[in-house]
Amino acid sequence: MQGGRRRLAACAAAACLAAAGCGGDDGAERDRAYIEQVNVAVERFAREAAELPSGFEAETLRTYSAALDRTAQRLRDIEPPPSVRALHEQLAEDVAVYADAIEEAARAPLSRDAETVVAAQQDVLRATETANAEVNRTLQAIGRTLDAESG
């Protein structure tokens, strides 16, 4: 679980930082401010996630899901440049969907059925892989769009 948290945060931060190579006009200043706000939200999530214990305990999963929900809300509170508004909304939705998957998995540890717990653990791993891919894809699309505008 902890590796998944770190991967999501690292992938998101790396992709977002890659988007920071904007040119030098007012639009670029707006873009840099936007990128900085997204980076702050991602970095805050990374700090919160790093403080959680690793493992598959229901409380840990719920706390992680709550951190993801807060991150999704922080992202929704950011005003993106018009050219990436839909992508930015997708980014927040990617994070929210991941939070929902983790919250769903948090119910399984209460089960006494080992198969149910193992299946939930596998669901968490798949959700983490999917979230990593989706967040990266969305952040890269944001970066390409902003770079194309400034280029």
CATH of the domain at 47: 1.20.120
Q: Is 8 exposed, middle or buried (0-12, 13-18, 19+ CB in 10 A)?
A: buried
Cα 75 to the center of its chain, rounded Å: 9
Q: Which residue has the tokens 């904007």?
A: 22
1-5, 34-38, 146-150: the lowest-pLDDT one: 1-5
Mean pLDDT of the chain: 82
Q: Which residue has the tokens 């948090």?
A: 106
pLDDT for the residue 10? 43
Q: Select from 12, 8, 3 the least CA-distant residue to 121.
A: 3
- At 121, list the tokens: 């653990």
Q: State the total domains in the chain.
A: 1
pLDDT for the residue 150? 76
Percent of the chain with pLDDT over 70: 81
Amino acid, single-letter form, for residue 63: T
For the segment 111-137, what is each residue's pLDDT rounded down to a tens digit? 677 888 788 888 888 988 998 899 989
pLDDT at 23 over 50: no
pLDDT at 107 over 90: no
CB atoms within 10 A of CB 3: 10
Dihedral over alpha carbons 2, 89, 76, 92 (to 10 degrees): -10
Q: Which of 73-77, 99-103, 146-150: highest mean pLDDT?
A: 73-77
pLDDT for the residue 11? 46
pLDDT for the residue 52? 84
Cα 107 to the center of its chain, rounded Å: 22
**pTM more than 0.75:** yes
Which SS3 state, helix, strand or coil, does residue 54 take?
Answer: coil
Amino acid, single-letter form, for residue 151: G
Q: Is 98 exposed, middle or buried (0-12, 13-18, 19+ CB in 10 A)?
A: buried
Q: Give residue 136's domain range.
A: 2-150
For the segment 52-87, what is each residue's pLDDT rounded down to a tens digit? 887 778 888 899 999 999 999 999 999 999 999 999
Alpha-carbon distance of 109 to 119, in angstroms, equals 10
